[in-house]
C-alpha cells in the first residue's frame, strides 16, 4: 500500500491499481458512465476526470495508475466544469422524452444532470435520427437514447462472449448496432438482457408484456394464472426499498392476488420436477452410453448460445424443458382437466428474472394443439411497475401463501435461482436415488458462490462423477473448448447464462454492483437453511403428480409434455 493525497486527506492505495478503484474503496464518489467493475478501463466517457498536481490537463481516474506522492482533487472547479460540459453535450443529442422513458427516475444520465446542476441548454442543433429496433422478442433498442458509453458492447463481448452488437459507422455517424445494421432478431443475440442491466440510459429495455397481461386480467372470459421463478422473491423487494436478498414471497403472493390473478403458482415446484426428469435422464445416459457430459437446459440464453455458436454440443443438452415451460405445460393439461377448465381460456403468465424467457415462451416447440405453454412473460421489473400502477406497496401488504394445487415446492427447487443451485439439488437427489439414504450434510459448498467456474467430484454409491458449474457464457465457452479438445472427466454440467445465475438475470432490478447479486444469492441460501423440505425427491406432491398423471420420469406423458428438442440455428455475425 502507498499513501496518496485526495482532497486534502491521506488515502491508502495499492501500488499499480487505477486511481478510481482506490477512490471508491476510500468512499470518494467520482461519477462515471462507462466504467465496468471487473473489466479493464475504456476511458470512453471522461466523466471520472480529476485534477492531479503536476499535470496540466485533467486525467481520467479509471485509467490513471496511482503513484506514490500523488495529490488529487476530485471535485475541483475544472473537473466539475468538464463533467458539466460532457452532460450538456450528451443532452444536446438526446431525446426530450424523460417522462415517457422506462428509466425515468433510474437513469444515470438524468441523475448526473441533477447532481451537476445542468438546468439549461447551452448547445443546440439538429439531433441524429435513429429508429427503434423492435424485432427481438426480448429486447428493445432505442439508438436515439444511446450515449456511446460502450458498456453494452463490452458485456456482450467480454463477459458473455456473444458479440451481437458493436460500434458501427464513423465519426459523427458512429452508433452501436448489429452486423450489417440488421434487426436484433437475425443477429447472434441470445436475449440474455445483460446489456439492459449495464445501460446507463433507456437505450435498451425489455419487450414489455404488461399490456397483454392487463388486458387478460380485465377479460372475464379468461382464467388468468401466474407463476413466479425462485429468484424473484429475493429481488422484487429492491424495487420497493427493501434490501437485496430480502425474501418477500408472502407480500408478493398477496400482491398478485390483489392484481386479479385467479391462481398463483411457485415455479419452484416444477424446478423439483425438473430434477426428477433431468436426474433420470442423466442416469439413462450413463447406463446406456448416451451423450456426455449432459448439460442443463433451464437457461434459454444458454440454449440459444449452444444452438448458434456450439451446435456440435446440441446433443449434450438435456431434453428437459425449463421449469417455466414445465409449469405452463402442466397447467394447460393436468390442472385444466382436474379443474374442468377449457385450456384455451387459460392465460398463463410467468414472472421471471430473465428477458430470454420471453424468447423461450415464443419458441414453436413450447406448446401443443395450437396452445403455447406460456402466454406472457413479465420480468421482475415489469411486475414491480404493475404493482405500483395499482397503488400497492410490498412493504404495506399483508403476506399471503401461494396456491398449491400441485403442492409445495422444496428449497432444492428454490436454489435454482443461484448459480450452482440446479447442481446442488441434483446432487442431493442423485445421492438418494443411488444409495437409498439422504446425504449427511445437504449443503454442497463446492458448487456455491459467485466464481465463474466451479468443479467437484461427487462419489455416489462407489461411482465418481465429475460435475461443473458455470455462470456467464464467456466462462462456458472456455469449458466447451476444453471438451472439444478432448477433456473427458466431466459427466454433468450446469450452465447459467447470467453472472451469478438467475439472481443476476437481465430482468432483475438494475443494480450496478456484484454485492447486490451476492446478497440475493445469500437470500436463497438462507431460505434453504430455514425450511425443512430440502430435496426434490422428497417432494410428495411431485410424487403424487407422477402417480395421478405423468406415471413416471421419462415416461410417455413426461416426454410429450416436459421434454423438447433443439437444433443448430444460423446467425448473422
Report how far apart, in Å, the C-alpha atoms of 500 and of each of 78, 97, 195, 419, 454 are. 40, 34, 15, 5, 12
Q: Are 210 and 140 in contact (CB under 8 A)?
A: no
Catalytic hit among 51, 206, 239, 360: 360
Phi/psi at 516 (nearest 5 deg)?
-65, -40
365 classed as catalytic: yes
278 classed as catalytic: yes
Catalytic hit among 304, 502, 536, 558: 502
Catalytic hit among 48, 156, 298, 354: 298
Catalytic hit among 115, 158, 365, 451: 365
62 classed as catalytic: no
Helices 108-115 + 77-92 axis angle, to 10: 140
Long-range Cβ contacts of 22-26 (<8 Å, 24+ apart): 22/66, 23/61, 23/72, 23/74
Residue whose grid cell is 436463497: 524
Report how far apart, in Å, the C-alpha atoms of 214 and of each of 46, 205, 218, 227, 232 are. 43, 19, 6, 16, 20
Residue 93: Cβ within 10 Å count: 16
Residue 342: Cβ within 10 Å count: 10
Burial class, 183, CB count within 10 angstroms (exposed 0-12 / middle 13-18 / buried 19+): middle
502 classed as catalytic: yes
Catalytic hit among 51, 108, 239, 281: 281
Catalytic hit among 206, 278, 382, 408: 278
Strand order in the sheet with 492-496: 294-295, 492-496, 463-471, 453-460
Shortest CA distance to 159 belongs to which of 36, 41, 308?
A: 36
Instruction: Concatenate the DSSP letters of all residues of 186-252 into one string.
Output: GBS-----HHHHH-SSSSEEEPP-HHHHHHHHT-TT-EEEEEE-TTGGGTGGGGGTPPTT---HHHH
The Cα 539–Cα 90 span in angstroms is: 55
360 classed as catalytic: yes
Catalytic hit among 136, 138, 187, 318: 318
332 classed as catalytic: no
What would the grid cell of residue 558 be? 413426461
Q: Are 275 and 425 in contact (CB under 8 A)?
A: yes
3-state SS track over 494-555: EEECCCCCHHHCCCCCCCCCHHHHHHHHHHHHHHHHHCCCCCHHHCHHHHHHHHHHHCCCCC
Catalytic hit among 357, 358, 414, 454: 357
455 classed as catalytic: no
End-to-end CA distance of the chain: 45
Residues serving a catalytic function are 278, 281, 298, 318, 357, 360, 365, 502
Amino acid at each position: 500500500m502507498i499513501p496518496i493525497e485526495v482532497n486534502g486527506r491521506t488515502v491508502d492505495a495499492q501500488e499499480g491499481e487505477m486511481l478510481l478503484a482506490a477512490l471508491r474503496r476510500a468512499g470518494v464518489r467520482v461519477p462515471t458512465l462507462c466504467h465496468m467493475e471487473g473489466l479493464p478501463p475504456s476511458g470512453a466517457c471522461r466523466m471520472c476526470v480529476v485534477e492531479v498536481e503536476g499535470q496540466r490537463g485533467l486525467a481520467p481516474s479509471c485509467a490513471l495508475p496511482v503513484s506514490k506522492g500523488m495529490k488529487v482533487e476530485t471535485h475541483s472547479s475544472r473537473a466539475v466544469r468538464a463533467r458539466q460540459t460532457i452532460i450538456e453535450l450528451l443532452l444536446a443529442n438526446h431525446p426530450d422524452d424523460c417522462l415517457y422513458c422506462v428509466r425515468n427516475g433510474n437513469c444515470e444520465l438524468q441523475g448526473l444532470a441533477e447532481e451537476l446542476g445542468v438546468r439549461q441548454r447551452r448547445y443546440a442543433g439538429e439531433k441524429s435520427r435513429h429508429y427503434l429496433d423492435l424485432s427481438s422478442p426480448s429486447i428493445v433498442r432505442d439508438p436515439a437514447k444511446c450515449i456511446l458509453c460502450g458498456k453494452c458492447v463490452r458485456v456482450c463481448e467480454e463477459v458473455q462472449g456473444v458479440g451481437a452488437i458493436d460500434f458501427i459507422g464513423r465519426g459523427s455517424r458512429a452508433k452501436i448496432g448489429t452486423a450489417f445494421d440488421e434487426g436484433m432478431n437475425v443477429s447472434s443475440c441470445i436475449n440474455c438482457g445483460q446489456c439492459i442491466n449495464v445501460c446507463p440510459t433507456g437505450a435498451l429495455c425489455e419487450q414489455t408484456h404488461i399490456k397483454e397481461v392487463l388486458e387478460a386480467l380485465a377479460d372475464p372470459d379468461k382464467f388468468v394464472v401466474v407463476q413466479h421463478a425462485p429468484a424473484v422473491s429475493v429481488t422484487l423487494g429492491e424495487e420497493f426499498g427493501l434490501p437485496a436478498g430480502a425474501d418477500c414471497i408472502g407480500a408478493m403472493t398477496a400482491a398478485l392476488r390483489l392484481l386479479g390473478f385467479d391462481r398463483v403458482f411457485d415455479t419452484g415446484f416444477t424446478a423439483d420436477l425438473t430434477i426428477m426428469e433431468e436426474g433420470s435422464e442423466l442416469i439413462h445416459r450413463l447406463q446406456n452410453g448416451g451423450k456426455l457430459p449432459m448439460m442443463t437446459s433451464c437457461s434459454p440464453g444458454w440454449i440459444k448460445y449452444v444452438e448458434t455458436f456450439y451446435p456440435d454440443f446440441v446433443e449434450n443438452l438435456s431434453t428437459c424443458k425449463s421449469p417455466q415451460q414445465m409449469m405452463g405445460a402442466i397447467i394447460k393439461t393436468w390442472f385444466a382437466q382436474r379443474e374442468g377448465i377449457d385450456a384455451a381460456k387459460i392465460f398463463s403468465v410467468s414472472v421471471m428474472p430473465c428477458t430470454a424467457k420471453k424468447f423461450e415462451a415464443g419458441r414453436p416447440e413450447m406448446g401443443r394443439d395450437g396452445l403455447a405453454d406460456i402466454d406472457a412473460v413479465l420480468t421482475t421489473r415489469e411486475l414491480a411497475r404493475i404493482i405500483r400502477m395499482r397503488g400497492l406497496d410490498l412493504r404495506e401488504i399483508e403476506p399471503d401463501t401461494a396456491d398449491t394445487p400441485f403442492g409445495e415446492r422444496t428449497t432444492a427447487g428454490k436454489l435454482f435461482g443461484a448459480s450452482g443451485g440446479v447442481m446442488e439439488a441434483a446432487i442431493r437427489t442423485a445421492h438418494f436415488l443411488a444409495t437409498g439414504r439422504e446425504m449427511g450434510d445437504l449443503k454442497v459448498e463446492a458448487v456455491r458462490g459467485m466464481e465463474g467456474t466451479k468443479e467437484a467430484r461427487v462419489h455416489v454409491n462407489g461411482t465418481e462423477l465429475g460435475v461443473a458449474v458455470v455462470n456467464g457464457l464467456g466462462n462456458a465457452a472456455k469449458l466447451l473448448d476444453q471438451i472439444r479438445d478432448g477433456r473427458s472427466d466431466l459427466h454433468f454440467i450446469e450452465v447459467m447464462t447470467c453472472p451469478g445465475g438467475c439472481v443476476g438475470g437481465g430482468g432483475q432490478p438494475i443494480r450496478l454492483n456484484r454485492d447486490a447479486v451476492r446478497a440475493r444469492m445469500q437470500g436463497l441460501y438462507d431460505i434453504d437453511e430455514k425450511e425443512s423440505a430440502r430435496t426434490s425427491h422428497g417432494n410428495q406432491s411431485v410424487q403424487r403428480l407422477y402417480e395421478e398423471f405423468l406415471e413416471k420420469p421419462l415416461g410417455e406423458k413426461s416426454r410429450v409434455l416436459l421434454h423438447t428438442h433443439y437444433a443448430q440455428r444460423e446467425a448473422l455475425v
